[in-house]
Amino acid sequence: MSKALTKTDYHFPNQKSVYHGKVRDVYNINDEKLVMVATDRISAFDVVLPEGIPYKGQMLNQIAAKFLDATQDICPNWKLATPDPMVTVGVMCEGFPIEMIVRGYLCGSAWRAYKSGIREICGVRLPEGMRENEKFPTPIITPTTKAEMGLHDEDISKEEILERGLATPEEYATLEKYTLALFERGTQMAAERGLILVDTKYEFGKHNEQIYLMDEIHTPDSSRYFYLDTYQEHFEKTLPQRQLSKEFVREWLMANGFQGKEGQQVPAMTPEIVGSISDRYIELYEHITGETFVKAATDNLSARIEENVTAFLAE
């Protein structure tokens, strides 16, 4: 069976520190560059699951790289190169402590809030009489704070962001402009693939006093997609939408009695389950990009990454 990369511990030239996130490991090179390794770890309900998913890191890294390249005319982004199928190297930015979440449709947590009677999210007024999965008249931005590890992100309004000095009025205006333009481009690209980009999130930072797009973009881990051809019929009949996201992993966990609550055990992840999740991610990749997924060799993942990144940093 193909191997999965679940842990990294590199010592690259001029490395100053490393941050191990839920899925990505980020190496600081001399406070100038970041080496972001997309591992094969998978998380759901804020829990990292015990087994890695072969090729997941490669897929997410390559989807993000494709969309970063396809949107660099809209705003500058952090990417310099992808020296390995699982790695992006980029410029180091000072990140804004907020995530710009943009929604084109009323679903997920926004729908749950709406259903409970709430009509304002992050300072944005929502129209009366909306239904689940209904398209908003225009996309809305519902930012969250970027929480420390182990804590949940919290909704925040534009007014609170400015009051707390998390961004200046000029910076926030640029963040809003970039967010809506990126979402529009992502929506166009999704439509060409027979998909609807429902909602997504963007992270921004500053490099040389200029605002840059950071991290991943339009991957199924950070975005929700519906299938375009069945959207209207499912909406009219109030049927669940066909989704292209990692929702299927959450559904499998819930069907096996796990939602990340205290005392609950992650169900056994057999080789068959791991293989089927990997296959679904490959489907996601090919549908989103329109390209055939080419599996990179997995016999010695860790050494391959170290060699490729070290060679790039020496250039």
pLDDT digits (tens, 9 = 90+) for 50-92: 999 999 999 999 999 999 999 999 999 999 999 999 999 999 9
Phi, psi of 115 (to 5 degrees): -60, -30
Q: H or E element: which one contains 198? A: strand 195-207
Q: Which residues of the chain does CATH 3.30.200.20 include?
A: 15-93+272-313
The 8-class DSSP code of residue 155 comes to B
Tokens of 97: 């402590």
140 close to 151: Cβ distance less than 8 angstroms: no
Superfamily the domain 15-93+272-313 falls into: Phosphorylase Kinase; domain 1 (3.30.200.20)
Which stretches does DSSP call E strand in 55-187?
79-84, 87-91, 94-95, 98-105, 120-121, 124-125, 135-141, 144-145
Topology of the domain covering 95-243: D-amino Acid Aminotransferase; Chain A, domain 1 (3.30.470)
Q: Which residues of the chain does CATH 3.30.470.20 include?
A: 95-243
pLDDT, tens digit, for every residue of 232-271? 999 999 999 998 888 789 889 999 999 888 899 999 999 9
pLDDT, tens digit, for every residue of 153-190? 789 999 999 999 999 999 999 999 999 999 999 999 99
Euclidean distance between CA atoms 284 and 274, whole angstroms: 15
What DSSP string runs through 93-106? -EE-SEEEEEEEES
Half-sphere exposure of 273 (CA within 13 A, CB side): 15
Q: Among the listed ranges 6-10, 146-150, 226-230, 282-286, which one has the minimum average pLDDT value?
A: 146-150
Give the type of residue at 63. Answer: I
pLDDT, average across residues 137-152: 81
Euclidean distance between CA atoms 104 and 185, whole angstroms: 13
Residue 147 confidence class, pLDDT cut points 50, 70, 90: low
pLDDT score recorded for residue 152: 63
Q: What is the mean pLDDT of the chain?
A: 94
Half-sphere exposure of 53 (CA within 13 A, CB side): 25
Give the type of residue at 263. Answer: G
Euclidean distance between CA atoms 79 and 68, whole angstroms: 7
